[in-house]
Amino acid sequence: MNSTRALLEYCDEKYLARSLAVSLSTVRRWRQFGSGPKFVRFGKSVRYRLVDVEEWVAAKPRAATETAGSVSREVSGGEL
């Protein structure tokens, strides 16, 4: 693998935030708490391997919206 191709396999935190439509502070918070994609540091620069981002996104699918502490309500008859 040549070095140019290797560099194209990484993105920075700003690109990641734009790609996922989240704020830069959200990406940084994910990194701080270990809940985001794997990352590497090159000196002071933080980079994300695109393959790691793709794997992280693939592991995140949801079948329904989840709300912490939500109470299930049963509706019997009638309309909402």
pLDDT tens readout for residues 46-77: 999 999 999 999 998 887 876 655 544 444 44
CA distances from 78 to 38, 71, 74 (A): 49, 20, 12
Choices 1.10.3470, 1.10.12, 2.60.40, 1.10.10: CATH for 3-58: 1.10.10
- 79 vs 69, more confident: 69
Give the global pTM. 0.70
pLDDT for residue 69: 55
Q: How far is CA 39 from the centre of its chain?
A: 12
**Average pLDDT over all residues of the chain:** 83
pLDDT for residue 41: 95
